[in-house]
Structure 1
Amino acid sequence: MPIDLSLTPHDEPARLQPTLRDIFYDLFERQFEGAIMINADGRVVWINDRYARLLGLHSPLDAIGLPVEALIPHSRLREVLQTGESILLDFMTYRHQVFVVTRFPIKDQDDRIIGAVGILLYERWEPLKPLMAKFKLLQAELEQARRQLGQSRKTRYSFDDIVGGSPACEDMKRIAQRAAALDTTVLLLGETGTGKELLAQAIHAASPRADLPFVGLNIAAIPETLLEVELFGAAGGAYTGAERKGRDGKFKIADGGTLFLDEIGDLSPGLQAKLLRVLQEQEIEPLGSNQLVRIDVRVIAATSHDLDCLVAEGKFRADLYYRLNVLPIRLPPLRERIGDLPSLCSTILGQIAERTGLPRRGVADAALARLARQVWPGNVRQLRNVLEQASLLSDSLVIDAPDLDRLLPDTAIGSTPVKPLAEVVAEAERQAIRNALAAVGGNKTEAAKLLGISRATFYEKWAALGLG
């Protein structure tokens, strides 16, 4: 027999024979500390006398037709309506009292959700002691599992692994150590091969989150179609081939710890908007799920792109840039810290010897001089590659200049340097704007017309390129 959830008082005249509805309500009235029923609109259609008294009502009839939140401000019954999932065991606080509650949906014969029921199982804690003991045991096991996950994703590097004492390197480490103490978003800016992930791990290892997971993700290495799931996860069956139990994304895996997002400048506009919301609200919505999941994650982002230029070109959201750029740290390229070459070479050659089992090599002064003349577009990563090749190809225990000649390009500091394309474009735009202004006597509106761009675009580029 279908259950009637219309908004009618439940003290209608008694019938000669009790209906199923009468028996149902009587059972709830006598057996539970409190019970409440809502319809598909979230409005109360029935409440038992005990619950009404607990809520301070003169009569259960005073609740009929009210939104459930008007009686119970933090009720999760509407969540049951939206998801269709029961919440079998939960704790509810009301007026400094804690109750054990259960909630479940009501469905009609066509399996449509037509309402939901909330029940106060216990007002006293004594019957729950065995259950609470099991709960505490499960909680302890969960905490242990989280610690083990944190250990399995523990960082390999600390500030002690950052080699170099040049002024540029020392300035970078000083700001990074400050970032470790401040639980805020960090943006690492540097060319490829400057060691952005190493610095991110060092920041995490020196932070209060050090015992919790460090999770890294290279945005540029993940296909666009898979990136949303990698970041935010997916509900079971959310797409063809999805796991039945669903999949946790990197934000969920990093919960409590740090998420390192490398090459953030390659993020698509659609995912930029979703990432911005996650950073603002600290909650994620897995693909194919209607439920929001609270998280506590510290984000360290990194890029080799000029984000200022990307913002000016409309390729990167300005609001996301400001959200990420709370504490920027610039990693100096190798050509700006040539004084660190001896210590870098010594450390890298020691690591190569330990990994390969080859004898540890040294570096002759002539070889260091040869290395110092290079531009190093690949920075420390390129230096490591050159030293490893020299170690494998040379029989000598000391790497000398001739060992490097066949491995190094002819480009050297003093010749035309290789610059990132974004820097070349930005400099060309600066010069074009200066030339246009000079041609029209400094009139910005006329300069914009001369350049074939709108006045608004002119002012955006004027600010982004630092011409003010």
Structure 2
Amino acid sequence: MLETIIDNAYEWLVVVNKDGMIDYMNKTYCEFLEVDRETVVGRHVTDVIENTRMHIVARSGNMELADLQYIRGNYMIANRVPIYQDDEIIGAVGTVIFRDTEQWKQMNTHIKVLLSELEYYRSGSSKENGASYSLYDIVGTSEPIRSLKEKVKQVASGNVSVLIRGESGTGKELFAHSIHQLSERSNRPFIKVNCGAIPDQLLESELFGYEEGAFTGAKKGGKLGKFELADKGTIFLDEIGDMPANMQVKLLRVLQDREVERVGSLRTKKVDVRIIAATNRPLEAMVEERRFREDLFYRINVIQLFIPALRERVQDVKPLAESFVRKISAKAGKRVIGIEDNAMQLLLQHNWPGNARELENALEASVHLTRTETVDVASLPDYLKENEGLVTGNRKLKDIVEKAECEAIRKTLIQCENDKLAAAKILGIGKTSLYDKINKYDLV
């Protein structure tokens, strides 16, 4: 009788153990999340409930009441209460009292202002100064991606520095956002700094701020730096391998002393900031070449996450492509419900040097170009269709490889405006070898 009452209760209810694994979820909550209760039990709560903090409450023992939680397109009101047995915390119970904001608005008209502000910051400012992504936004079924997600859950709760590595377009920023969202600092600022996009002469003032009158054009009253803005939160140093040598020294001092000094100031200020860095550069080689400080490398490389290229996890192409089509079609206001098999085959055959970002760009063009409710071969970018029919059952591997090599050289020569030295450098072969291949394939 008790289980029947709980299953049909108006509130949604979930119980987790001290490790954040789900022990129980009532029927109405499972129906809303569109999950099977039999498969939910035993899974980590972050795999099932969006933006949850149940695992944090189960670990910290700190009760959270009437907290706003964004789930599947709506703000909801959640309570999270730790469960104790013989003065030892053994888990937590969570309930969702109001299933959407409309019900809460009926109770208190003042909340309307708060919700509108929250929605503004979520859709606008949070994209600039906050974490906008979670593990739900990282799509992939391959073993490397599943393993990375598990590692994120393990390291998120600590304050250790994390270095995320991988080629451009693999999703390093999404993992950085996810670490912050699952950490104890999730309600604090998440500040992103692209170290490669800021001019060298401005990087110091951007990171550490400046005092009024510090230099010509300085704002009245001075300016807070990114580290001060990130105090008690997380700072994400993207493309840290592009940071100039003089700034590496100053960054190292901040990481060692946990204090910053504004440009033009004689005083320092303590900051409590977690460091997440990302790069696609070979930092170990740069250390050997003295282009990156060894002591700084070890400071940021406490825990390392490596995201493999998309070509190394081909099984992720299909779920990624389907996810991109849904997102792009909703944004574009078009009804595109899938990808035709022959078009998907071309996507699976492509090498994706630009990784997931290139795949998304290709599908964005396809969604806008398709004249049907599916992405077909005709709507794909031309460079993808050039490989149509490349892999067939009656061709020798040698012929397939030679055709691919010929196409790669031809496109690179066009890209480099027939500068053969530049083309050889891009292709990673010697100039003599390039000339031999040009003659072989009659590309003169």
Give the structure-2-normalised TM-score. Answer: 0.59
Q: Which residue among 190, 204, 219 is the counterpart of 1:214?
A: 190
Report what 2:325 is aligned to. Answer: 349
Q: Is the partner of 2:224 in helix, strand or coil?
A: coil
| Alignment partners' CA distance in 2, 1:410 and 1:225 | 45
Q: Is the partner of 2:156 in helix, strand or coil?
A: helix
Stretches of structure 2 that go unaligned for 5 or more consecutive residues are 1-119, 392-400, 410-421, 430-444
Shift of 1:408: 2.5
Deviations 1:332-362 (A, max 9, x none): 1111111012211111111112211111241
1:361 touches 1:391 (CA, 8 Å); kept in 2?
A: no
1:349 touches 1:362 (CA, 8 Å); kept in 2?
A: yes
Spell out structure 1 runs of 4+ moving beyond 6 A: 148-151
Q: Is the partner of 2:223 in helix, strand or coil?
A: coil
Shift of 1:248: 0.5
| 1:39-438 matches, cutoff 5 A | 152=126, 153-404=129-380, 406-408=382-384, 415=404
Shift of 1:230: 0.5
2:212 touches 2:220 (CA, 8 Å); kept in 1?
A: yes
Deviations 1:400-440 (A, max 9, x none): 2333251428579964589xx9xx99x99xxxxxxxxxxxx
Residue identity opposite 1:275 in structure 2: L
Residue identity opposite 1:319 in structure 2: D
Q: Cα distance 1:409–1:278, how it changes in 2: closer, same or farther (>3 A)?
A: farther
| Alignment partners' CA distance in 2, 1:364 and 1:221 | 39
Residue identity opposite 2:363 in structure 1: L
| Alignment partners' CA distance in 2, 1:405 and 1:346 | 17
Q: Percent identity?
A: 41
Q: Is the partner of 1:408 in helix, strand or coil?
A: helix
Please identify the structure whose Cα radius of gyration is greater.
1
2:213 touches 2:220 (CA, 8 Å); kept in 1?
A: yes
Deviations 1:245-264 (A, max 9, x none): 11101000000000001000
Q: Cα distance 1:187–1:410, how it changes in 2: closer, same or farther (>3 A)?
A: farther
Shift of 1:220: 1.0
Report what 2:69 is aligned to. Answer: none
| Alignment partners' CA distance in 1, 2:284 and 2:385 | 31
Q: Is the partner of 1:187 in helix, strand or coil?
A: strand
Q: Is the partner of 2:221 in helix, strand or coil?
A: coil
Shift of 1:180: 0.6
| Alignment partners' CA distance in 2, 1:218 and 1:365 | 39
| 1:450-461 matches, cutoff 5 A | none
Report what 2:93 is aligned to. Answer: none
Residue identity opposite 2:314 in structure 1: I
Deviations 1:285-318 (A, max 9, x none): 1111010110000010000111111111111111
Residue correspondences, number: 278
| Alignment partners' CA distance in 1, 2:369 and 2:121 | 41
Residue identity opposite 2:236 in structure 1: F
2:336 touches 2:375 (CA, 8 Å); kept in 1?
A: no
| Alignment partners' CA distance in 2, 1:238 and 1:154 | 28
Residue identity opposite 1:260 in structure 2: F
| Alignment partners' CA distance in 2, 1:288 and 1:409 | 57
Stretches of structure 1 that go unaligned for 5 or more consecutive residues are 1-147, 429-468
Q: Is the partner of 1:156 in helix, strand or coil?
A: coil
Shift of 1:375: 1.1
Q: Is the partner of 2:167 in helix, strand or coil?
A: coil
| Alignment partners' CA distance in 2, 1:216 and 1:323 | 19
Report what 1:22 is aligned to. Answer: none
Report what 1:123 is aligned to. Answer: none
Q: Cα distance 1:291–1:409, how it changes in 2: closer, same or farther (>3 A)?
A: farther
| Alignment partners' CA distance in 2, 1:397 and 1:354 | 13
CA RMSD for the aligned pairs?
2.7
| Alignment partners' CA distance in 2, 1:157 and 1:381 | 16
| Alignment partners' CA distance in 2, 1:271 and 1:408 | 42
1:233 touches 1:286 (CA, 8 Å); kept in 2?
A: yes
Shift of 1:321: 0.6
| Alignment partners' CA distance in 1, 2:263 and 2:381 | 53
1:154 touches 1:211 (CA, 8 Å); kept in 2?
A: no
2:318 touches 2:348 (CA, 8 Å); kept in 1?
A: no
Shift of 1:221: 0.9
